[in-house]
Amino acid sequence: MTPEIATAIFLTIATAATPLLIAALGELVVERSGVLNLGVEGMMVMGAVTGFGAAQITGSAYLGIVAAIICGALFSLLFGILTLSLATNQVATGLSLTLLGLGASGMIGENFIGLPGVKLKAIEIPLLSDIPVIGKVLFSQDLIFYISILLTIAIWYFVFRTRAGLTLRSVGDNHTSAHALGINVLKVRYLAVMFGGACAGLAGAHLSLVYTPQWTENMTAGRGWIALALVVFASWRPLRIVAGAYLFGAVTIAQFHAQAQGVAIPSQLLSSLPYIATIIVLVLISTNKRMTMKNTPASLGKPFVPDR
């Protein structure tokens, strides 16, 4: 394998993994607070169409990123109002949010179909980007890739090394005790939910501004569900999410390389490889109940209604 081919493969894996990593990191913070938001797919696709539309209107991919983040946060706020303030069922509300996002994005993006996108340009770091193979992979990437790396480090530090992170985990593990200690449970969860929505919106912007700089309906193609599976796969640990995201990114890219090499396997089967891998991983994880129960936030998915 030549250095050029190796560079191309690693670049495509990083590009495929980045939106999964960002969306999963956001959902990790949400679930660490004890909230289960299954609306990641809906928030991602809304971020994708908003980011693409804003970039088209303004001519700036960076403004598209900002718009996608704001859209994701506001969309998640709707989920927060319903599940936190009105104490609706989190699973049903999250599923409804996904359906709403898919429908609304299709309506909003109808006029954008077929238009050329505003691609987010790579940021080349002098000297370092000239290193063979790893130079292009690590030091000649788009802004969202660098944000994903910084997010991983920042979230790990926040969750496990700060008092605010301890508060977040305490709310997720036992919201009743946290409330008794004077912690504003709903405030913590609202902030976590909106952060998760902002990350999902950013992940969607990566799809429409970097991965494939165009808008097509339902372009998230189930990536939100894979991000949800990644959180469980990583047992709610930020650094493990990186490994999981790049593993799934490699599986996603493998199908394209297999098709390019003319492998005698139906294209439909190759296209389903990422989802088959997701199912296999979830089945394997479910067999290890000890590890799953050890890291799962004890209050995950349970509504909290403060005493009045």
In a domain, 308, yes or no: no
Q: How many folded domains does the chain comprise?
A: 1
Q: Please report whether residue 110 resides in a domain.
A: yes
Helix segments in 207-261, DSSP class H: 223-233, 238-260
For residue 307, being part of any structural domain is answered with no
Q: Is the pLDDT of residue 281 over 90?
A: no
Residue 231 lies in a domain: yes
pLDDT given for residue 264 in this prediction: 62
Closest by Cα among 30, 21, 42 to 211: 21
- Confirm whether pTM is higher than 0.85: yes
Tokens of residue 246, six digits:
């790049």
The listed range with the strongest mean pLDDT (9-23, 59-73, 113-127, 270-284) is: 59-73
Alpha-helix residue ranges (DSSP H) falling in the chain: 3-32, 40-58, 61-80, 90-108, 134-139, 143-161, 163-173, 175-180, 185-206, 223-233, 238-260, 267-271, 273-287, 289-295
For residue 262, the model assigns a pLDDT of: 65
For residue 308, pLDDT beyond 60: no
What tokens appear for 116 in the block? 């050329």
How far, in Å, CA of 146 to CA of 283, rounded?
32
- Cα Rg, the chain, nearest whole Å: 19
Helix (H) or strand (E) holding 140: strand 140-141
> Cα–Cα distance between 185 and 176 in angstroms, integer?
9
User: What local confidence, expressed as pLDDT, does residue 185 receive?
Assistant: 96
pLDDT digits (tens, 9 = 90+) for 204-242: 999 999 999 999 999 998 899 999 989 988 889 999 999
Task: Tell me the pLDDT of the chain averaged across its residues.
Answer: 89
Low-confidence winner among 60-74, 192-206, 218-232, 272-286 (lowest mean pLDDT): 272-286
233 domain residue, yes or no: yes
pLDDT class of 256 with cuts at 50, 70, 90 = low
What phi and psi values does residue 124 have, to the nearest 5 degrees? -90, 125
Confidence of residue 268 (pLDDT cuts 50, 70, 90): low
**231: its two tokens:** 């959180």
What CATH number corresponds to the domain at position 56?
Answer: 1.10.3470
- Condensed to tens digits (0 to 9), the pLDDT of residues 69-84 reads 999 999 999 999 999 9
Judge whether 46 lies within some domain.
Answer: yes
The verdict on residue 61 lying in a domain is: yes
pLDDT category, 279, cuts 50, 70, 90? confident
75 in any annotated domain = yes
Helix (H, G, I), strand (E, B) or coil at 164: helix
- Given a contact cutoff of 8 angstroms between Cβ atoms, the answer to whether 82 and 28 are in contact is no
pLDDT band at 126 (very low <50, low <70, confident <90, very high): confident
Question: Are the C-beta atoms of residues 137 and 156 closer than 8 Å to each other?
Answer: no
Range of 229's domain? 3-295
Tens of pLDDT, residue by residue over 94-106, are 999 999 999 999 9
